[in-house]
Structure 1
Amino acid sequence: MDTVKWSDLPKELWPIIGKFLHSRIDVLRFRSVCSLWRSSRPPFQRPLPPPPLPLTFSPPGAGNPKNQALLFQSTTYRMESIIDKRRSGSSRSKPWLMKLEQDPNSGRMRLVHPVTGLPLRYSPNATSKDFSLLEFRVVELRKSYVLKFGKNNVTVKSVQRLVVMPCDFLDIDDVFGVFMVYNEGKLGFVRFGDEKLTRVDEQNAHYDDIIVYKGQCYVVDKWGTISWVNSALQVIQFSPPLCGFGGRKYLVECRDDLYVVDQFFEKVTQQSNIVGTPFLDNELLWWHYHKMRSDAESIDFKAYKLDQEWGKWVDVKDMGDDIFILSNDGSFSVSAKEFAGVKGNCIFFTESALTTGRLYPCVFNLEDGLFSKASLRCPQMVHPPSSWLSPD
């Protein structure tokens, strides 16, 4: 078949193609090609931010009244410079991960670290602050959410993980639902417009992580048992217990399979001092408890794959080219083949410096069991190559 240039395609095709573009960056790139493309697709319309969730918190720092929680959405992209690739004349480039967080109040975007979630700022030695999307190939990888205080954008520590379920999951028009793991293990649910949070599964207060997998909400508890939650808020066991002895479990989707990553700590702070605390009644208390847990040093990781056909766990010793990223707002996987100079079979996570308490990204290698800082092992993958950006 003869190839046809893009410019020679019938004009009536462009509006049809434009309707399949749903992200802001895709629409910007489409409209920036030429006047014909720009006239075929209207500018991206920022959706209205969801109303504040009907939850109140006592924010860190006394003196402020109860503060409403806002849902902050982040989008993670794989970026690849087209300009550098052309200049070098090489077929290989150095893609990296970029994460943009959107403020629900103003709609403004800011760059954050793809693992730690810390904001990135201008470097004092910045020589250029230009950033053109025409110079990059952009691939959207995932969307994620966190709860923050509306006035100061501080993350709500009493909510460890949350996922947003679309309205078709709940069979209610124009209403989104939020499942969350809060108070170090309880499972809750709230819809926009509800007056209070609904506790899900009163019998289990030991959930570690939550994920949307194949359109359903899945959770894992401290014993490594995976369950899924249906639209009637019933928790249905999906896997046998893993019986892993680590301090925290993570759910990761990789190549349509479901994995559990077990994280082992040198020490785990007991929570006897907060048992019985009313839900979200004292955010300051949970903030201190979260800090104590984050001070525990990681000493090992183990990965397990759920064999869904036989209903059993498989101890994974070699993940091949796959990389697991345990970020602050959920876990995901990427392939090392998509990032030059990066080896697979490793896990990215966030560690806290014992002396300063500052968060920094680390890498654990499943092959040799060694830990290293991400900035040393693969700096290009997790840091933008722009000279005017640096960790905050």
Structure 2
Amino acid sequence: MDQAERCRWSDLPPEIVSMIGKRLHTRMDALRFRSVFSSFRSSIPSPRRDASRFPLRIPCSRSSHSVFLRGSTVCVLETPEKSSGSGVPSPPRSRWLVKLQESSLGDLQLLCPFSKRRVTYLPRNFPKVIDSLESRIVEICREFRIECATLGIALGVSKVVVSPDCVWTDLDKLEVYSIREQGRLGY
């Protein structure tokens, strides 16, 4: 392919850029997409700060307690290489498997990837600040659970599926399916 046949990303037609942007699922992907070119930024709206929408209160007629849907993201966090500039070899990048959960105030909590427990002890070389411009964050999967807010426990639900799980979905179009421990399907 010669230079005359190549097309620059910034020269893509607005319709195509908009189609690409509307297929992004996570808030982080939408923010990264918008940061590439001004034409990309103007092609899709900025995701709302409350785009993650979690914890989400679920109306429940059978329970007197408040029931919430909580979402978290399991991801790989890769720290940037630090160049020493003195000719000494720099330490290799560190990679961490972490689970992030956004609180109702918009703060992120760091959880153990294999449980629901908050991480209270961090290794010495874990970054104090996670800067998404410098660190690479790769989403592995999303996890959802239903729990009772007043009791702070899961409500006998073994699996939860949210459809569609997309940053652009309105709350009134969100569907939550669950499988209870007795094998019953909930909606």
1:145 is matched with 144
Q: What are structure 1's unaligned runs of at least 5 residues? A: 58-65, 168-172, 192-392
**Paired letter, 2:156:** V
User: Separation in 1 of the partners of 2:113 and 2:8?
Assistant: 35
2:58 is matched with 52
Is contact 1:73-1:145 (8 Å) kept?
Answer: yes
> Any idea what the Cα deviations from partners look like across 1:343-386, whole Å, max 9, x if unmatched?
xxxxxxxxxxxxxxxxxxxxxxxxxxxxxxxxxxxxxxxxxxxx
Shift of 1:130: 2.8
TM-score by length of 1: 0.36
**Paired letter, 1:42:** P
Structure 1's 175 and 38: CA in aligned 2 closer, same or farther, altered over 3 A? closer
Relative contact order, higher structure (CA 8 A, sep 6+): 2
Structure 1's 122 and 15: CA in aligned 2 closer, same or farther, altered over 3 A? farther
User: Separation in 1 of the partners of 2:52 and 2:162?
Assistant: 16
Match of 2:11 among 1, 9, 12: 9
1:223-262 equivalences in 2 (<5 Å): none
Shift of 1:29: 1.8
User: Separation in 2 of the partners of 1:122 and 1:56?
Assistant: 39
Shift of 1:147: 2.0
Is contact 1:74-1:100 (8 Å) kept?
Answer: yes
Structure 1's 89 and 51: CA in aligned 2 closer, same or farther, altered over 3 A? same
1:116 is matched with 115
Structure 1's 35 and 56: CA in aligned 2 closer, same or farther, altered over 3 A? same
1:32 is matched with 35
1:212-361 equivalences in 2 (<5 Å): none
Shift of 1:73: 0.9
1:130 is matched with 129
1:69 is matched with 67
User: Separation in 2 of the partners of 1:47 and 1:79?
Assistant: 19
In the alignment, does 2:181 pair up with 1:189?
no
Cα RMSD (Å): 3.8
Is contact 1:69-1:149 (8 Å) kept?
Answer: yes
Q: What are structure 2's unaligned runs of at least 5 residues? A: 165-171
User: Separation in 1 of the partners of 2:184 and 2:83?
Assistant: 50
**Paired letter, 1:30:** F
TM-score by length of 2: 0.67
User: Separation in 2 of the partners of 1:17 and 1:53?
Assistant: 34
Structure 1's 29 and 175: CA in aligned 2 closer, same or farther, altered over 3 A? closer
**Paired letter, 1:71:** L
> Any idea what the Cα deviations from partners look like across 1:180-233, whole Å, max 9, x if unmatched?
233xxx122222xxxxxxxxxxxxxxxxxxxxxxxxxxxxxxxxxxxxxxxxxx
User: Separation in 1 of the partners of 2:59 and 2:184?
Assistant: 13
**Paired letter, 2:112:** H
Larger Rg over CA atoms: 1
In the alignment, does 2:172 pair up with 1:166?
no
Structure 1's 7 and 174: CA in aligned 2 closer, same or farther, altered over 3 A? closer
2:99 is matched with 99
User: Separation in 1 of the partners of 2:40 and 2:157?
Assistant: 43
Is contact 2:145-2:159 (8 Å) kept?
Answer: yes
What SS does the corresponding residue of 2:18 show, helix, strand or coil?
helix
Q: Number of residues paired by the alignment?
A: 169
**Higher fraction of strand:** 1
**Paired letter, 1:80:** E
What is the aligned-residue identity percentage?
25
Shift of 1:151: 4.4
